[in-house]
């Protein structure tokens, strides 16, 4: 076995620092997220599933679980609730009967777009906490070290989907009157 390049004390201190910072940050994120989605009668798992379905265009329940960082049964059960509300539809692929796939309905997409439009940065404590860094450096933190840790835990596929969703928002949405709205595609793009 290779000799460790770190001490037990160093490992424990790092682990606990990450754990305690993550717990504190998550508590704030959870409160902000719940406040944002509450008017749409969604919980965090349901919103996350809608987000994943939007960006993956026909995700399997396994994909939802993986990219939503939730158990497969959680992904399925919350997806089922969204289907009952008419926000998702379930399907099987002709060449893949083992997996269940979800897709946003027009009503599901409409709710997700309304959520994007109703995002209020003034109600986001994590954003507020990062503003002094943005003022100092001219941009929000990239949090590259955290992304590297997550990549090493969840893999390249996870990070590829993570980045794709944010690239989609960047390319598909514009800001109008301090609100995010989906850019209308031209007729040529549909042909």
**H helices within the chain, ranges in order?**
8-37, 44-56, 61-68, 72-84, 106-117, 125-137, 144-154, 156-172, 187-190
Residue 80 has a pLDDT of 97
100 lies in which domain range?
28-183
Who wins on pLDDT, 1 or 118? 118
Contacts of 113 (CB under 8 A, 6+ apart): 181, 182
188 falls within a domain: no
With bands split at pLDDT 50, 70 and 90, how would you rate the model's confidence at 190?
A: very low
Continuous segment of H or E residues that includes residue 175: strand 173-176
- For the stretch 127-168, pLDDT in tens is 999 999 999 999 999 999 999 999 999 999 999 988 999 999
Give the Cα separation of 39 and 93 in Å (integer). 34
pLDDT at 25 over 70: yes
143 is written with which tokens? 């949090």
CA dist 177 and 179 (Å) reads 6
- CA pseudo-torsion sign 68, 69, 70, 72: positive
Residues 6 or more apart in contact with residue 105 via CB below 8 angstroms: 86, 87, 88, 89
User: pLDDT over 90 for what percent of the chain?
Assistant: 81
β-pairing verdict for 96-104 and 179-182: unpaired
* Residue-wise pLDDT tens digits, 36-77: 999 999 999 999 999 999 999 889 999 999 999 999 999 999
CATH number for 160: 1.10.10.10
Helix ranges (DSSP H) in 60-105: 61-68, 72-84
Instruction: Identify the DSSP state of 38.
Output: G
Position 57 scores a pLDDT of: 87
Domain total in the chain: 1
**pLDDT reported for residue 58:** 82
- For Cα atoms 41, 47, 50, give the angle at the middle one, nearest 5 degrees: 120
Q: Is residue 113 part of a domain?
A: yes
Residue 190 lies in a domain: no
pLDDT in tens, 159-174: 998 899 999 999 999 9
Whether 82 and 46 have beta carbons less than 8 Å apart is answered as: yes
Q: 131 in a domain, yes or no?
A: yes
5, part of any domain: no
Residue 35 lies in a domain: yes
36 domain residue, yes or no: yes
Residue 16 belongs to some domain of the structure? no
pLDDT confidence bin for 78, thresholds 50/70/90: very high
């Amino acid at each position: 076995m290779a000799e460790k390049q770190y001490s037990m004390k160093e490992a424990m201190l790092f682990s606990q620092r990450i754990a305690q910072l993550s717990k504190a940050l998550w508590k704030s994120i959870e409160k902000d997220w719940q406040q944002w989605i509450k008017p749409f009668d969604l919980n965090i798992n349901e919103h996350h599933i809608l987000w994943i379905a939007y960006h993956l265009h026909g995700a399997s329940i396994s994909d939802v679980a993986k990219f939503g960082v939730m158990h497969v049964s959680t992904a399925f059960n919350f997806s089922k609730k969204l289907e009952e509300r008419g926000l998702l539809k379930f399907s099987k692929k002709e060449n893949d009967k083992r997996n269940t796939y979800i897709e946003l309905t027009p009503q599901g997409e409409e709710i997700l777009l309304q959520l994007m439009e109703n995002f209020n940065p003034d109600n986001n404590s994590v954003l507020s906490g990062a503003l002094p860094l943005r003022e100092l450096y001219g941009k929000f933190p990239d949090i590259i070290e955290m992304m590297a840790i997550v990549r090493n835990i969840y893999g390249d596929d996870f990070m590829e989907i993570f980045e794709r969703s944010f690239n989609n928002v960047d390319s598909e949405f514009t800001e109008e009157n301090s609100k995010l709205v989906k850019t209308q595609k031209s007729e040529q793009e549909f042909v």
